[in-house]
Structure 1
């Protein structure tokens, strides 16, 4: 008898809490089984306990020797910047002017936008990322192209049209009114359609007038289950610029707060130079931080302060920030965030890094209970990691005494090659196996 149930046997790991603050934060089954049906998780646990309960005709995929865990969640990434990743510049602001803005100009062409969107989503899948918060360009066509492609793949994505009505090239500028009007139309067209959700996306405070931020705040109140995404406190030159533009604001973060843009489902990239009052405000409003170490190191922006953030109990997640970030790989992000933390005097265990890339991202986005773990009923987004993918990683992981050692090796030595397969809603998105098992 045939059954629609699919079961995946291998090492199974997922989280129920942040290991930094909970002693029993994860579920690890060395010989585990993930059971999936109709795009959702049915069960996850020990193979010995679950195998007998599988229905007759269920398909069992043998992935022993590999690690099965929830798909990675990238909470800050720019899909239009795929084509200008790894562009040289002495800092954030000249990098924007020289490379970013000219590249984004091309996205008024739907065909070009669609081509980049397909490449971008392929790269996410190849790197094990199943959910992302994505910046499009100022052009509504760029959003339509992205959501058309992500919807066809049935991947859970959040994206939005960038809004900027000053301090940018005229060919990329909208107005406060047109930015709000276009954003509302896109919300109505795409938000909560299938697995797609919309993010109100003022690029960053220097490129929006007070009128634009005020209208964005009105949209945030009118559509309270939408997302908000922007940048804050990334670079010292940027912060000084914001002070000249918004002299009445207490801080860079306060600019957004004044317009009602701090709330649950608000994600702010970087958050390097917040003070204690800012951190308390992030926590009090439910806003979250997307940590972007590869970008921060590449652009020389600074080092995130884990001790201060954890002291305030900020909601944290990990992000690639392509194209300021130099890789689509969340494993590469873990590699860099570990070093950033060490330079600031904080030790990040691998367990916490994998939490931040999975359940931490889901919690920050308000998606716990939907993605980010293998709790029954969650959407079956997962990645299969191969510790034998390179000679060095294989040699290191052939002798480990604890799960932490295995995860640490994957984080510090892994990259896109480590991703054996990626699944979204139970469907295979990417596989490097010839058998596509």
Structure 2
């Protein structure tokens, strides 16, 4: 029997080794491209204004590992001071030690994940080396600036608003916590197959000492071209006093008591009760009058005093605004507005759960930290422009590569192909040609 002498690495080992090798290769490509761009800038700069002082090396952590680039250092004769033109044109700050992409990845992971530490750990596992500490991520996020004004092409006359509060613990100080008041706004629903999405959805987080609805109205004016005499607002929220105050602030609005909260209270009070199904049916039918009649008729039939007291408070609260139990679509029909594509309100709790998942769970925050964190979350969700220490996060960055000059793209591909072939000795052998041709065919995929 012929002895088996084949020795091969496991797929895991092969994949890991190839990833490290490609990181090294692409790191060299990046270094080469940056230095060539720096030279191009030097040749085409305003030589009367920018005097070439010398070349200086900088080490920078990137998604391809740590790279060292030698870039030109200029004296600005017009404004005084010194500048790296490469940093200016490519919108980064080389002296900070890592690339804007690493910074963005770290902050996004911190917001979408469970903690700053987890984000730092995940980037290390992903890239294979320690890139950025959890405290550095936190400090960078604290210094972000979000541009909240992003006008929509608002053509619709109805705006839908979901409002709720999120209680967040505070660190130290006299206050144990504070309620963050948040609203989500959209222009309606669009159905694509089995999926339904919201049109032009935005988030508003209240700041300052002015009343919530005053600040929110300015937000609508800035982003939705809101006109009180032309637009109709449908506002969904629970019975908190600051939320129901919308009825006094807006004259052309319909307040909807959040049906999730109402249904939850009904279940707590009446589950197992003989009138439970009837009460739920009245609520589902938007029969406000019938629903309140059923609640009143159930007084004195509950199993304990605490539930009786809670029921009386519940009835008293709903009796203040019985119309809020009705169907807002009937109100819009009276104003000759087509409601065929409108759906029931009630996503406020879902909106809050997204924020609560990251902000609560036993965490406590300082005022500056929570504000910067929520701002960044909103910036990511609403695809707003965010200024960072190392550059900026722009929602248009995802499509920016499409508009890059053709010569630049071809040059990049050529550099990648050349360095990849030279660094992978297997591809230089005769037996490596088939896989080389396969990789070449996938170039740019």
Short-chain TM bin: under 0.3
Structure number with higher strand proportion: 1
- Mark the structure with the bigger radius of gyration: 2
Task: Calculate the TM-score normalised by the size of structure 2.
Answer: 0.22
Question: Which structure is richer in relative contact order (CA contacts within 8 A, separation 6 or more)?
Answer: 1
